[in-house]
Amino acid sequence: MADSRAIVAVADALKRLFDQQFKQDYPSHPVVTSLTVQLIRGQDLAGSGAISQGTLLLFIPRVTPNLSTRNRLPEDRPDGKRYYPLLPVDIHFVLLPVLKSAAAHLEFLGWIYRTLDDHPVLSSGFLNAGTYGTVFGPDEFVEIQLESPPLPDWVALFEVNKARLDAGVSCVARAVNLDSRRQIETHPEVQIQDWRHDTWK
């Protein structure tokens, strides 16, 4: 099961996906000769004047608990121990291309949408192939869904990026499970004694 590094591992996997896909789809683009995929925070975005052209910004405006599973049961691990329930979270991403021209910007918006729709599921092998090593179990995967960005997200982006308010792409990694390290203490079953006596004769 995925540990607490799951959020950063998913972000790293998306970064690698766009790195690889650009090299495959655009071996010789006439305008964008290279694309740097960069994971950023809001405070990095605020200083966007220093961001170089030919960059795809990968920004996480929020991470929210996934409430679709209301009755979360304790997790029984293969070692026989029981742990507190998994916590599923939704990781919301905004992808912002920073390119030399409006035409290139619009072209790459379409490419970002197409890439995400072509890769709706990230396998555990791909997720674990990054910087953070084995984070997900062999039977785990992460589903990436396109979403209509909530207005508060774009308002927040505008507040920190007024100098460059360009269209971006919004998507969400649904129900990424964070496993618990807290074990549920179990106690041996109550012993039952048989107090029956022999029948008197």
pLDDT tens digits, residue range 6-38? 999 999 999 999 999 999 999 988 888 899 999
Q: Does residue 164 have a pLDDT over 70?
A: no
pLDDT tens digits, residue range 57-115? 998 988 999 988 777 777 777 777 777 788 899 999 999 898 888 899 999 999 999 99
Predicted local distance difference test score (pLDDT) of residue 166? 75
Q: List the chain domain ranges.
A: 6-65+84-178
Buried b (16+ CB within 10 A) or exposed e, 72-102: eeebeeeeeeebeebbbbbbbbbbbbbbeee
pTM of the full structure: 0.81
* Torsion region of 111: left, alpha or beta (phi above 0 gives left; psi -120 to 50 gives alpha): alpha
DSSP strands (E only) in the chain: 36-40, 55-65, 75-76, 82-83, 87-98, 121-123, 141-146, 169-178
pLDDT tens digits, residue range 56-67? 999 898 899 998
Closest CA to 93 of 57, 127, 68: 57
Predicted local distance difference test score (pLDDT) of residue 191? 65
Reduced to 3 states, what is the DSSP secondary structure of residue 85?
Answer: coil
Q: Please check whether residue 67 is in contact with residue 88, taking contact to mean a CB–CB distance below 8 angstroms.
A: no
* pLDDT band, very low/low/confident/very high, at 124 (cuts 50, 70, 90): very high
Q: Does residue 158 have a pLDDT over 70?
A: no
Q: Please check whether residue 128 is in contact with residue 135, taking contact to mean a CB–CB distance below 8 angstroms.
A: yes
| Mean of pLDDT over the chain | 84
Please, which contacts does 101-108 make with residues 24 or more away whose CB atoms are closer than 8 Å? 101/31, 103/31, 104/31, 104/32, 105/166, 105/167, 106/167, 108/32, 108/56
Q: Kindly state the percentage of the chain with pLDDT values over 90.
A: 43
